[in-house]
A and B are shown apart, each in its own frame.
Chain A
Amino acid sequence: MENNEKILQILKKRFGFDKFRPGQKETIDALLAGKDALTVLPTGAGKSLLYQLPAYLISGTVVIVSPLLSLMQDQVDRLHRQGEKRVIMLSGQIIGRERANILRNLKSFKFVFASPEMLDNQNVLEALKNINVDLLVIDEAHCISQWGPDFRPEYLLLKNIRQQLGKPATLMLTATATPRIRQDILAKLGIITAQQIIRPVDRPNIFLAVQQKTTQKEKDEELLQLVRKFDGPGIIYFASRKLASQMAEWLSSQTDLNVAAYHAGVATIERFRIQNQFMNNELQVICATSAFGMGIDKNDVRYVIHYHLPSNLENYLQEIGRAGRDGKQSLAVLLYANGDEMIQRQLTSIDIPPASLLQQIKDDKISSTILGDQGALFEFYLNHQSTPEQIITMFNQRKSQTEEELQRMLGYIKADSCRRKYLLNYFGETEKKQESICCDNEMPEWKHKVFLPARAEKTITQKLDWHERLKQLLNITEN
């Protein structure tokens, strides 16, 4: 291709890489040729580059759709870190005159981030139609599939939105998608002809282990042992915010490590500090909740421990994928005590209201707030031409599917042969490269045999009195 050299130049200049990683070049070529692409790359394989690089070779704007504010913020931060300032995130927090202002000047942004609901807003869509959208990126594209665990009904709006934008070249991105879900993504977006670029989901440098315990107390002991032995940097996932905070405190008191909790209950500024301190090796361990998207872009995370099992293997794979992005030996341990799955059942359960109630909400006789947290979800369906009966059938299906997913997760925990094979099998991949260091079932005494690369030196922030701190902040050198 003629602009190959140009592409490599940008790769070097903007992103600091000499060569592409698997799957990147094919995707970028397809997009620059004006084709649509569905790209499945494992977590940490450089997905953002796929749209960031082409952005510098096309004249128009790139619109990126993402399901969560926190995920968008991570992408925005990443672009800022690269020195790119023409970035805007259209969020519900920007309202009134500010929003009108932004929409009027939308042309001045190269990257526009938005949730699907935001794009469904008529003013926003009109503003986008008036500028030149050359590339539409659908991040976490598996959210469009009802077969997937992260289904978000608003994603179904994207087919129409894309058409209204004049069908720009579209990039569908995901880290986890079984073949069935891939087909579903293409069908739901009406882009059957998209080029599919699929890389194996396997991350051979992550050792897989499960520790079954009988009581929570034993789990705590095990966790402490692991954290003491493998000194990080590490991430520990919990099912609840409260526990994440409590355990962060407990681990700090039991070790000489710096541990912090990181979840949606932590204030934004605090999260900003914690992220930076973790990146800087001032913190060694983060206690997080699974529900919370965390775009910590740290290459040398050595282990991911799950204190509670996630609700499905998709999430598990995505979360352990934060370990070992540098390709070096890393570790994923799942702690399990009998009955832990009940926590997940509780978290994922949805009370399905009776059809008569749904009908009354549809007729505006009752507010959807009566349905609690799920009200908005049911209202969405009602507003988008579903009958109460259809909705109930759908949710019943969803329920049995969630249970099925949980059973597969439990299957992984209880597996007595190779865990990696089990995982890959689930994602429709049969081939596994034979690794010498693979999983605990193949190496029972792994705790003594798996050696993780040494942690970077702990950064100790110098204690300064306020005069010195102020001078340092503003780079004042005189006395």
Chain B
Amino acid sequence: MVTKLLRFFSYHQPRRIRVIENTLKSRRTVATLFWARQYRILEWLGAYRSLTRQDYDQTINGLVNDGLLMIDDQLQAKLTEKGASQLKKEESNLYTPSFYDWYWLANTQRIMQRLFLAIQVVSEYSYGQRKYVPLAISYGEMLAVKQWFRQNFRQNIVNELYSDLHRLGSALENEDPRLATDLFNVMIGHNYSGWTVNQASADLNIGLDDVQFLRHDEMLAISAYARNFPGPLQQLFLPLFNESPLNRSAQITFDLYVKGLSIEQIAQQRRLKQNTIKEHLLEAAVLIPNKLNWDALLPADKRVALGKFYQGDPTSWEFNEDKATFYEYRLYQIYQGITDGK
């Protein structure tokens, strides 16, 4: 068995429990993204969107009560010795994701809703069944699937979807057979209601919570696949894909910045506050650091000056308003965090 959420904590590094929660739920703020990167869990962004505050807090309390985790008064948690040895014992059983590099590509909850309903609709259609209970998903996703089906059902949708899925399945099987097995057993179709989480866990011999992470992996995989291969899946999901790890507004700012506009100019042109623009650039610094011109963003002499004051592990620094603005401080922190991480 796998102890819930234990894998997100470390014995050496105190970690803010809210950052881990916000990462899993994809509540994006620059602070969350920054810390997630420092904890090396950035690619888990959005891996557990359905996690509730109550459930999360109960789990954390459970870990503390079992002596596996300790929390300080800053709400930072560290594994205890017992926790660390427990994690070590479980490590080989933990599910290792294959496609989390694509974490930014799509909201996997929406992908999953669309996918399940779409497969169900085509499945019932392939059996000529019109009387059935469709999966109850959000109204918007339902309409999207309806429209997709209407556009496609005349054009041999069953066979096209089959070959699309078959190609995907073969690719998944190569990567990790559990991905393919679970994906097709969890789908809902004619006279088949699919695996529950418990059934998947028992059959694949992975922890109950890891089933969630496995499913997230499958949805990222299917998204990455559909992004590259034209077909019914691409049609179904295309509107849900993000173009980059940045959110839409940050991406616009970033594009203008790369063109050479200053923060002031971008703020003026976009009718946004300068602080908002700075937030966008910080987000870019965390998420796509290699695409930034650091010498322009934070000139070398500034870095040297800051380096005299801020030393050691960037996660342990404290902001001092006499030395720099918070924007510069955070940029330098990100910069140092990234160079340390390499």
Contact = CB atoms under 8 A, between A and B. Distances in A.
Interface of A: 73, 76-77, 80-83, 93-94, 98, 102, 260, 267-270, 272-274, 276-277, 280, 282, 461, 463-467, 469-476
A13 to B, nearest CB: 13
Contacts of B304: none
Contact of A470 (B130, B137, B162): B162
B192 A466 contact: no
B134 interface: yes
Contacts of B185: 464, 466, 469
A474 B193 contact: no
A269 B138 CA distance: 12
B188 A272 contact: yes
Nearest to A245: B198
Given A93-B138, A260-B198, A277-B193, A83 B130 contact: yes
A473 B187 contact: yes
Contact of B162 (A277, A466, A469, A476): A476
Contacts, number: 94
| A-B residue pairs, 8 tightest by C-beta | A276-B193, A475-B126, A83-B131, A473-B189, A466-B184, A77-B133, A469-B184, A466-B180
A345 B55 CA distance: 25
Interface in B89-140: 116, 119, 122-123, 126-127, 130-140
A81 B188 contact: no
A466 B133 contact: no
Nearest to B136: A73
5 contacts: A98-B140, A282-B193, A470-B166, A472-B192, A473-B119
A115 B197 CA distance: 31
A258 B97 CA distance: 30
Contacts of A475: 123, 126-127, 158, 190
> Of residues A94, A272, A471, which shows the largest number of chain B Cβ atoms within 10 Å of its Cβ?
A272
Contact of A270 (B123, B159, B197): B197
Nearest to A252: B198
Interface string B156-188: 001101100110010001000000110111011
A364 B192 CA distance: 53
B123 A466 contact: no
B50 interface: yes
Contact of A467 (B169, B183, B189): B169
B133 A80 contact: yes
Interface residues of B, number: 45
Given A94-B139, A470-B184, A476-B158, 14 more contacts: A76-B136, A77-B133, A98-B140, A260-B196, A268-B136, A272-B188, A273-B193, A466-B180, A466-B185, A470-B165, A471-B162, A473-B189, A473-B190, A474-B161
Contacts of B161: 474
Contacts of B148: none
A155 to B, nearest CB: 24
A41 B173 CA distance: 54
Contacts of B122: 474
Contacts of B162: 470-471, 474, 476
B11 interface: no
A473 B133 contact: no
B160 to A, nearest CB: 10
A473 B135 contact: no
Given A276-B193, A280-B193, A466-B173, A474 B126 contact: yes
B241 to A, nearest CB: 21
Nearest to A94: B139
Contact of B195 (A81, A273, A473, A476): A273
A474 B127 CA distance: 8
Contacts of B198: 260
B194 interface: yes
A472 B133 contact: no
A473 B158 CA distance: 10
Contacts of A464: 185
Contact of B116 (A77, A81, A269, A282): A269
A80 B124 CA distance: 13
A469 B173 CA distance: 14
A143 to B, nearest CB: 23
A272 B136 CA distance: 8
A355 B135 CA distance: 46
Nearest to A259: B198
B126 A82 contact: no
Contacts of B139: 93-94, 98, 102
A171 B131 CA distance: 27
A274 B196 contact: yes
A472 B189 contact: yes
A259 B132 CA distance: 25
Contacts of A81: 131-133
Interface string B189-222: 1111111111000010000000000000000000
A9 B285 CA distance: 70
Contacts of B183: 466
A80 B121 CA distance: 13
A461 B195 CA distance: 10
A459 to B, nearest CB: 10
B78 to A, nearest CB: 28
Contacts of B187: 469, 473
A273 B191 CA distance: 11
Contacts of B184: 466, 469-470, 473
A85 to B, nearest CB: 9
A466 B172 CA distance: 11
> Of residues B135, B136, B197, which shows the largest number of chain A Cβ atoms within 10 Å of its Cβ?
B136
B133 A273 contact: no
A102 B140 CA distance: 11
> Of residues A102, A260, A465, which shows the largest number of chain B Cβ atoms within 10 Å of its Cβ?
A465
Given A81-B132, A81-B133, A474 B181 contact: no
Nearest to B116: A269
A467 B188 CA distance: 15
